[in-house]
Amino acid sequence: MEFDLKTIEALAPDQASLSAASKLTKQSNWPRLEKNEELALIWGECQGSGSNPYRVVVETGDDGYKCTCPSRKFPCKHTLALMWIAATTPASFAVAGSTPEWVNDWLSRRRKTTSQPVEPTQGAGGKSIGEAARDESSVVEDAAAVERREAAQRKRAEDTRSAVSAGLDELDQWIADQLRLGLAGFVDNSSDRCRRIAARLVDMKATALAGRIDEIPSRLMALRSEERPDAAIRELGKLVLLAKAWRSAPDDPELRRLVSTSESREQVLANRDATQVESAWEVLGEKIESRRDGLVSHSTWLLDLNSASSQFAQLLDFFPASAGRRSNAFTPGDRFEARLIFYPARQPLRALVADRRGDVSSGDWPDFGVDASDPLAAHVARQDAAPWVTDCPVMLPPGAILLDDRGAAWWQAAGDPHGIALPIADTVNPTLLGLDLKATAALWNGSRLELLAAQSGFGRLDLS
Amino acid sequence: MNEIEQTGLATMRDCWITGGTTFDLAPAAWQQIASSANPDERERRLLAIAAQALDIALRPAAPKMLKQRPPLPELALPMLPERLRPLLRAALKHAADARTKTRVATLVASRGFVLHPMDWMPSASYQESPDVYAPWVDWQAGVGGEKQSRREQLTVETWDDFYPAARRTALADMRRTAPALARQLIEAKGSSEPAEIRSALIELMRFGLGADDVPFLKSLSADRSGRVRELAGRLLARLGEHGNPGDGGTEDPTAELAAFIAEGKSGFIRRRTTYTPIRLKAPAQEARRGDLFATCYLGDLAARFGVTESDFLGAWQFGVDDNADLFLVRMVSVSGSDAAVAHLADTLGAGGGKPALLVLHLMARLDSGRKRVLTRQILKDTQNLHALNQVEGIEAGWLEWADLTNGQTLPALRSAVAGNDEPVKRSADQTLENLGFLATAATAEKLIGDVVAAGMAPAAPSLGLLRLNAALAGPGIDT
């Protein structure tokens, strides 16, 4: 590793990036720092503001780099921080014999330029690494200022609550209108109708709920026409339940998150009542969806390998679609020890990685004792506790994938040709039709299964 | 949910679809929950109850008929160890097309492993997959029924128990070890197969082709398929049986082709016969000559000049007309005897340079040893390294370090890697990928070190197959 601070200074796009990078050079921000000197590579995972860590790799030979963050600055603060650590504390990097698959993936897509590594230049365009490293946290607020700030916060919260309440009144009326006018018309015209009420809800600060309503048309269109009325009843009915629940407990963190805004990462980490689970986790898969509101939602689903029953966690981030395609934060099949903090909820699911420790060796999933008589029992339990939830992770018992006469794929429990069959969203890899599935992790959205991963006679299968 | 609630829900659903109020249609228990509110609120409450009922009390209605595929068969070799799958996936990702992906699978199979079916599956239509994958080819082809690919001996009795790809593999093996037995099987069962399968079976006769096959091949001259008749004629020609004995008249295509070739003498002391393509004056002549080379047989042409196939080829003046050279080599590949093919390959190979590349057109007929000779020749010459990509059907993992150092290949690669010429770099990447397939594990490891020392990025994608190859070094591999 041949970085020096002058090179980093020269690479930095501006002084702000250097300042931001300096704050990320603490070891605690980097649960993973590794290097392979033979391949001239360093890489790491930086726990940024999102739930999914950012993955950063740098080729030290030519200063080539890649980070999974959505920043439009190149290199971003995470890349600069990784180089900074390499320059100042190279011993922080563990020696790795092989490169992870995400690094290989970057290497395989990389088109190398013929440009030479950046040469440090005097002054580097007014950027100064010394200035960036200076502690900027010395500003002390006086007590009166704190009081004023908190009062303003309270006022804003009260205003938001009033606005949201008014927004939900409009939503109630809108739902009643849809029922009166007929769901057939709603299904046909859902795009415009949902857009209009979603725009109103954004105005009334019910942002999260607006985003959810904006997605209803695409969820309906993913189904066959004869299924859409039932799906519309489910979608609108859940909105009614959510609005009612919020009115009865507007400060409930789960409901506030689903209706207006989510708490920050720092607030969740500081919440002593939040559920914490320290365990071995396996990355089941990822789900990346472009939303109509211009955001991309990025979910990573984890499975608790030490739990007696199947327990899941969701790392969820949103970033603007304009930031371009984002690389995956984890590789399906990765296993690691970690302490997860769950966002408070009736059935906690969304989580943050608080501490990540070493990797765990691969192997089969434990036997979770899944109820073969009703593969959706976990979904039912979750709906009983939080009936406004849409997607629910389930662990399915032994089964297989079959095709109906239209070529659509279904999951069906093994040895029960007349038992429950669950339709699968999208097409499946044809190879999957010949594999026995000992256990399958999937998301059930009330109408379709989205497969995440499975265990089979051929080992672990990545299905997301 | 009880029956009354189910009926009520269905009625409410129908009402909501068209629009209207459903309070009067709701089950009594649901009405009770909703009754204390205004009409809009009543509908919303009923909607919430209906949504929850749909979500937890009902299950999707499964179609009456769900088709299950037979289980994917297990293969005879163990699966590639998990720790090598990232390297494999990197190599597969870099492989541009089905053919190069198949070469990755071939290399891995040569080291005793098969790939995970979710990483790679052989195509049902591409027949160059390693034999070990035959059960998966059959599975991919979606052959119906319950039968399994069997590992027992292929006989008339067990013929129908084998799927086509497995049968093809078994027959090819049998042709190499017991050609008469295989011929009898093809004779007994082939006639009842459709023309496409029949011609594929006859095509297998090229393995272990011998004089004993002549009567059967002659009997195919009456086959109802033109493709089968043509194949049989070519195989007979390879055995020296003149498939199209001409009468020498104006309608005789061999005589017409011979008219495009000038017989002459060269040398002052020892006068040698030469055969030289005559200079053509019009594109139409060129086209006609091409057609004649494609349809006539080498044996007939040589006989027309009263010499053996080998003598004719020995006297051919290569380098006078490149197109004529190419047509002739293709003709030898299609209808020349094994001796003629070997003679021509050795002659062209010994000369080196551009004519040696014509041997590439004999690829389908060359034995393993001559393919290796050709590969070494290409590496030694260095000028046409791209031709490595055209060496078809060659084994994986045999190229030694000495084969690379015996010529200018390594210096050329080093120079390409160190330089800034993008097309040259891309060409070097292609060569490295080809060498990744051909090299032994030790050679692969050495080569990686060599080009990295010359300036190539150690993690460059074009080294992917070489890295996999090196990691597949025999004894250390565990399953």
The shortest C-alpha distance from B162 to chain A (Å) reads 18
Q: By the CB < 8 Å criterion, does A62 face chain B?
A: yes
Residues B300-345 have pLDDT tens digits of 899 999 999 999 999 999 889 999 999 999 999 988 988 899 889 8
* Residue A435 CA to its chain's centroid (Å): 29
Q: By the CB < 8 Å criterion, does A111 face chain B?
A: no
pLDDT greater than 80 at residue A121? no
Which of these three, A133, A166, A194, is where a domain ends? A133
Residues A16, A64, single domain; the answer is yes
Which of these ranges, A262-266, B147-151, B233-237, has the smallest mean pLDDT? B147-151
Beta bridge partners of A286: A300
- Check CB contact under 8 Å for A233 and B51: yes
pLDDT score for A52: 78
Find the CATH number of the domain harbouring A348: 2.40.50
CA distance B471 to B479: 13
Residues A392, A316, single domain; the answer is no
pLDDT greater than 60 at residue A446? yes
**Partners of residue B43 in chain A, C-beta under 8 Å:** 176, 179-180
Residues B333-346 have pLDDT tens digits of 988 988 899 889 88
Structural domains of chain A, count = 4
Nearest to A434 among B90, B139, B422 (CB): B139
* Residue B387 CA to its chain's centroid (Å): 17
Residues A10, A105, single domain; the answer is yes
DSSP B267-309: -SSS-EEEEEEPPP-SHHHHHHHHHHHHHS-HHHHHHHTTS-H
Pairing outcome for strands A437-444 and A409-413:
unpaired
Q: By the CB < 8 Å criterion, does A385 face chain B?
A: no
Q: By the CB < 8 Å criterion, does A371 face chain B?
A: no
Residues A150, A255, single domain; the answer is yes
pLDDT band at residue B134 under the 50/70/90 scheme: confident
Enclosing domain of residue A120: 5-133
pLDDT greater than 70 at residue A232? yes
Q: Which residue has the higher pLDDT, A180 or B271?
A: A180
CA distance A93 to A132: 23
pLDDT band at residue B63 under the 50/70/90 scheme: confident
Which of these three, A98, A133, A168, is where a domain ends? A133
pLDDT band at residue B103 under the 50/70/90 scheme: very high
B44, B83, B139: best to mutate for the A interface, most A CBs within 10 A: B44
Q: Which residue has the higher pLDDT, B392 or A451?
A: A451
Residues A234, A151, single domain; the answer is yes
Residue B233: both structure tokens together: 């004629």
Residues A128, A147, single domain; the answer is no
pLDDT score for B150: 47
Residues A403-441 have pLDDT tens digits of 998 889 999 998 777 778 999 998 899 899 999 999 999
CA atoms in the 13 A half-sphere facing the CB of B304 = 25
pLDDT greater than 50 at residue B457? yes
Closest residue by Cα to residue A389 from A282, A312, A318? A312
Is there a domain that residue A243 lies in? Answer: yes
Residue carrying the six token digits 């393509």: B277
Residue A320: both structure tokens together: 């603007």
Residues A17, A116, single domain; the answer is yes
**Partners of residue A434 in chain B, C-beta under 8 Å:** 69-72, 117, 139
Residues A123, A12, single domain; the answer is yes
Query: DSSP letter at B205?
Result: G
- Check CB contact under 8 Å for B460 and A112: yes
pLDDT score for A184: 95
A57, A187, A230: best to mutate for the B interface, most B CBs within 10 A: A230
Question: Minimal Cα distance from B457: which residue of A?
Answer: A39
pLDDT greater than 90 at residue B374? no
Pairing outcome for strands A32-36 and A94-95:
parallel
Is there a domain that residue A364 lies in? Answer: no
- Check CB contact under 8 Å for B63 and A410: yes
Q: By the CB < 8 Å criterion, does A230 face chain B?
A: yes
Nearest to A179 among B43, B51, B60 (CB): B43
pLDDT band at residue A348 under the 50/70/90 scheme: very high
pLDDT greater than 80 at residue B392? no
Q: A361 with A214: CB under 8 angstroms?
A: no
Residues A291, A409, single domain; the answer is no
Which of these three, A241, A259, A277, is where a domain ends? A259
**Partners of residue A421 in chain B, C-beta under 8 Å:** 60, 62-63, 66
pLDDT score for A392: 94
CA distance B129 to B110: 12
Would you call the peptide bond into A75 cis, given omega within 30 degrees of 0 as the criterion? yes
Distances (CA, A) of B421 to A107, B71, B418, B429: 21, 51, 9, 12
pLDDT (average), residues B159-184: 84
Residues A61, A15, single domain; the answer is yes
Q: Which residue has the higher pLDDT, A107 or A336?
A: A336
Nearest to A412 among B48, B66, B422 (CB): B66
pLDDT greater than 50 at residue B144? no
- Check CB contact under 8 Å for B60 and A421: yes
Is there a domain that residue A273 lies in? Answer: yes
Residues A69-104 have pLDDT tens digits of 878 888 999 999 999 999 888 888 988 877 887 887
CA distance B290 to B326: 10
pLDDT score for A328: 65
Q: What percent of chain B has pLDDT over 70?
A: 94
pLDDT greater than 50 at residue B179? yes
DSSP A398-452: SEEEEE-TTS-EEEEETT-TTS-EEEBSS---GGGGG--EEEEEEEE-SS-EEEE
pLDDT (average), residues A305-315: 93
pLDDT band at residue A346 under the 50/70/90 scheme: very high
pLDDT greater than 60 at residue B214? yes
Closest residue by Cα to residue B69 from A409, A440, A456? A409
CA distance B7 to B10: 5
pLDDT greater than 80 at residue B14? yes
The shortest C-alpha distance from B383 to chain A (Å) reads 25
Q: Which residue has the higher pLDDT, A140 or B195?
A: B195
pLDDT greater than 70 at residue A281? yes
pLDDT greater than 70 at residue B117? yes
Q: B182 with B176: CB under 8 angstroms?
A: no
Q: What percent of chain A has pLDDT over 90?
A: 49
Q: Which residues contact A134 (CB under 8 A, 6 or more apart)?
A: none
pLDDT greater than 90 at residue A351? yes
pLDDT band at residue A107 under the 50/70/90 scheme: confident
Q: By the CB < 8 Å criterion, does A202 face chain B?
A: no
CA distance B371 to B282: 37
Is there a domain that residue A372 lies in? Answer: no
Residues A122, A151, single domain; the answer is no
Is there a domain that residue A183 lies in? Answer: yes
Residues A107, A67, single domain; the answer is yes
Is there a domain that residue A298 lies in? Answer: yes
Nearest to A402 among B66, B422, B461 (CB): B66
pLDDT band at residue B163 under the 50/70/90 scheme: confident
pLDDT (average), residues A13-28: 86
**Partners of residue B48 in chain A, C-beta under 8 Å:** 237-238, 240-241, 244, 387
pLDDT (average), residues B136-154: 65
Q: By the CB < 8 Å criterion, does A112 face chain B?
A: yes
CA distance B113 to B287: 48
Length of chain A: 464
Is there a domain that residue A138 lies in? Answer: no
pLDDT band at residue B149 under the 50/70/90 scheme: very low
pLDDT (average), residues A436-453: 94
Q: Which residue has the higher pLDDT, B350 or A171?
A: A171
Is there a domain that residue A366 lies in? Answer: no
The shortest C-alpha distance from B117 to chain A (Å) reads 7
**Phi and psi dihedrals of B471, rounded to 5?**
-70, -15
Average of per-residue pLDDT values in chain A: 87
